[in-house]
């Protein structure tokens, strides 16, 4: 029998709106990088994606939620910039909390699965 300590349950969370992916780990990371750098283009580079792909992702999230997630200012002497809106900060916090609860749940399932294998009952409650 396989050592149950080597069995792991993995999963990812995607939030969808009207059947379309709206938010997942990568998009949250993109928002966090925009917040940290103050720049969509710098965040896109850090994520190894194009500016257009980053902007499209931000736009899609905002449209799905009917709330702007990034406020931008145009360039000038000091350059342009991007800031996360309060809605974006709340979205990030809620997603991270959901993600932690999901990981806790998967950990619980791992323990129940290992127990079911070691007891030979084959039942997960």
CATH number at residue 48: 1.10.10.10
* pLDDT given for residue 2 in this prediction: 54
Is 102 strand, coil or helix?
helix
- For the chain, give the number of residues: 125
Structural domain contains residue 55 = yes
Counted domains in the chain: 1
pLDDT tens column, 60-110: 999 999 999 999 887 655 567 899 999 999 999 999 999 999 999 999 999
Asked if residue 74 is part of any domain, the answer here is yes
Global pTM reads 0.83
Q: Report if residue 89 sits inside a domain.
A: yes
Task: Print the domain residue range for 68.
Answer: 13-119
C-alpha distance from residue 16 to each of 20, 34, 39, 59, 61 (Å): 5, 22, 26, 15, 10
Is residue 1 one of the residues assigned to a domain? Answer: no
The per-residue pLDDT for range 103-122, each reduced to its tens digit, is 999 999 998 888 888 877 76
Q: Is residue 4 part of a domain?
A: no
Residue 81 lies in a domain: yes
Residue 60 lies in a domain: yes
User: Who has greater pLDDT, 124 or 102?
Assistant: 102
């Amino acid at each position: 029998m396989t050592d149950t300590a080597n069995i792991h349950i993995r999963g990812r969370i995607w939030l969808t709106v009207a059947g379309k992916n709206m938010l997942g780990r990568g998009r949250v990371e993109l928002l966090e990088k925009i917040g940290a750098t103050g720049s969509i283009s710098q965040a896109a580079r850090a994520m190894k994606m194009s500016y257009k792909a980053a902007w499209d992702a931000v736009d899609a999230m905002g449209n799905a939620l009917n709330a702007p997630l990034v406020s931008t200012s145009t360039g000038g002497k000091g350059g342009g910039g991007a800031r996360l809106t309060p809605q974006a900060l709340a979205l990030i916090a809620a997603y991270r909390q959901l993600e932690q609860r999901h990981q806790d749940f998967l950990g619980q399932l791992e323990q129940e699965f290992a127990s079911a294998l070691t007891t030979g009952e084959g039942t997960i409650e």
